[in-house]
Amino acid sequence: MKMVSVNRCFDGVQGVYTAPSKVCGGDMTFGLFLPAEAQDGPVPVLWFLSGLTCTHENAMTKAGAQIWAAEQGIALVFPDTSPRGGTVANDEAYDLGQGAGFYVNATQNPWAPHFQMWDYITEELPNVLAKNFSVDTDRQSIMGHSMGGHGALTIAMNLPDRYRSVSAFAPIAHPSQSEWGRKQLTAYLGKDEASWAKHDATLLMRDVGFNGPLLIDQGTEDQFLDLLKPEALAEAMFARRQAGVLRMQKGYDHSYYMISTFMEEHIALHAEALYQ
Amino acid sequence: MKMVSVNRCFDGVQGVYTAPSKVCGGDMTFGLFLPAEAQDGPVPVLWFLSGLTCTHENAMTKAGAQIWAAEQGIALVFPDTSPRGGTVANDEAYDLGQGAGFYVNATQNPWAPHFQMWDYITEELPNVLAKNFSVDTDRQSIMGHSMGGHGALTIAMNLPDRYRSVSAFAPIAHPSQSEWGRKQLTAYLGKDEASWAKHDATLLMRDVGFNGPLLIDQGTEDQFLDLLKPEALAEAMFARRQAGVLRMQKGYDHSYYMISTFMEEHIALHAEALYQ
């Protein structure tokens, strides 16, 4: 593992590291914020999964999350959104290939050899963190934005008891019925839509739900609302009687300005679950 | 108008009054909490509409609202849920007739002569308040529980600019598709479902929405969830991109214990709208 950078940040350390990934077949870069408390022993871990076109860097620099994670004594992980570089496949479109891993294990070529983001996020990177840093992977929570909100919700619902709480900003809520989803799930998983079901938050909400605190924020002025389909997830959540909070925030759009505005409340929710 | 009782309460006064109602053709009783600030000039008004079987008294004694209204300097009105007594029609069922006015103007007999709760709540009682008490009817907000949540949401959406904010606890969210609704709307308004549309929060959310803060709390252990249909309103709200907050509260049921638990946050929401 290689340290790319470390910066002092809210009495803790914001680091960037590159580690070889077996599942993705190449080096993968991630950001990790460790609060001051990590010097005294392992701290809980909160994942932030980013959206289309993002690297590990976007949320790390723009989400305004470190101040609240420092206050709560929580580590933040900022993974990349796909494998990159070298022989990794790509597409001209911004929403397929590099920067658009969709948090699945691709089964179709040319994506299958590297695009194993599900295993990377849920298995390999947690082990890298536990082995190299003062983090307690028995206490994990997860959040994300847009494609990363999709990732957070689907991963959390698929792995009961792994994550104590889940939250999302403007998630892609029903990808099997959206152009942000059908295209990518077809490319990565093939045309058999049965294989998509575990990667659709609305379908998972109907089937299994989530046992823990859940919070979703969505802006009314989000330019991608028709692709995100929050109404489908809202219906499924209330039909299931899933505990949680859905908020439609007046005037906010799809940007990191929206994320940073509500980050304090998201991290407070996760902190309560992680330290209970 | 007759004063039934007054009690000192959180530095203000909780009163109960009976006033002749022209629209309901008889005396109607209501509760009114005035905070200490009302002595210095008119204060904003927050309505609490109650559910099936309730009188003016249930929320007044069990919702724990006065402490927060006193803190915020807001008057609380607790109307009855139907006309009562004398020649007023009734039904053996708990959910039709007296105690079950559903906040509509009945057009069908035997209900039409007295069951004019829409006009009573939106026109007559506000005038009684403005004439007799230190309240500012230019600043009104509205909330309610169950049938009263239905009333609050439908009245607020039908009268844009009248109410600055709206909230509900476990509202009957889609009465035109529920046994809590179809029976009563048929009895009061007749079989033409077109006349029901303005009395269904989900249909109104699809058509017009609400321009102001909106908050709905629903308990996961509510014994009437199948009748309330929050999933229909959730879908309509998010499909409309209606600003607001929906919360599914884990472990809470349909009782006033649920209402009192979240009352502080509801009144805070209304206070911000009423004093902005």
Residues A90, A91, A94, A97, Cα dihedral to 10°: -40
> What does the mean pLDDT of chain B come to?
97
Per residue in A142-169, pLDDT (tens digit) is 999 999 999 999 999 999 999 999 999 9
**Inter-chain residue contact B231 with A235, CB threshold 8 Å:** yes
**Inter-chain residue contact A234 with B232, CB threshold 8 Å:** no
Q: Among A178, A186, A188, which residue's Cα sits nearest to residue A232? A: A178
How many Cβ pairs within 8 Å bridge chains A and B?
72
Q: What is the pLDDT of residue B86?
A: 84
Name the DSSP class of B25: T
Distance CA A31, CA A9 (A): 13
pLDDT surpasses 90 at B276: no
**Inter-chain residue contact B244 with A247, CB threshold 8 Å:** yes
Residues 6 or more apart from A202 whose CB is under 8 A from it? A173, A174, A176, A177, A229, A232, A233, A236
**Average pLDDT estimate for B209-237:** 98
Chain A contact present for B243, CB below 8 A: yes
CATH code that applies to domain B2-275:
3.40.50.1820
From the candidates B50, B82, B146, B178, which is the catalytic residue? Answer: B146
pLDDT confidence of A86, banded at 50, 70, 90?
Answer: confident
Per residue in A167-213, pLDDT (tens digit) is 999 999 999 999 999 999 999 999 999 999 999 999 999 999 999 99
The H-or-E segment that residue A176 falls in is none
From the candidates B114, B254, B266, B270, which is the catalytic residue? Answer: B254
pLDDT surpasses 90 at A85: no
> What does the mean pLDDT of chain A come to?
97
pLDDT confidence of A248, banded at 50, 70, 90?
Answer: very high
Q: Closest-CA residue in chain A for B250?
A: A243
Distance CA A39, CA A36 (A): 6
pLDDT confidence of A250, banded at 50, 70, 90?
Answer: very high
Helix (H, G, I), strand (E, B) or coil at A203: helix
Evaluate the CA torsion angle A129, A132, A134, A136 in order and state its sign.
positive
**Inter-chain residue contact B235 with A230, CB threshold 8 Å:** no
Q: What is the pLDDT of residue B81?
A: 98
Q: What is the pLDDT of residue B65?
A: 97
Share of chain A above pLDDT 70, in %: 100
Instruction: Map out the domains of chain B as residue ranges.
Output: 2-275
Per residue in B142-192, pLDDT (tens digit) is 999 999 999 999 999 999 999 999 999 999 999 999 999 999 999 999 999
Residues 6 or more apart from A11 whose CB is under 8 A from it? A35, A36, A70
Q: Closest-CA residue in chain B for A220?
A: B241
Per residue in B239-248, pLDDT (tens digit) is 999 999 999 9
Share of chain B above pLDDT 70, in %: 100
Is residue B82 annotated as a catalytic residue, yes or no?
no
pLDDT confidence of A48, banded at 50, 70, 90?
Answer: very high
The token pair at A99 is 């920067």
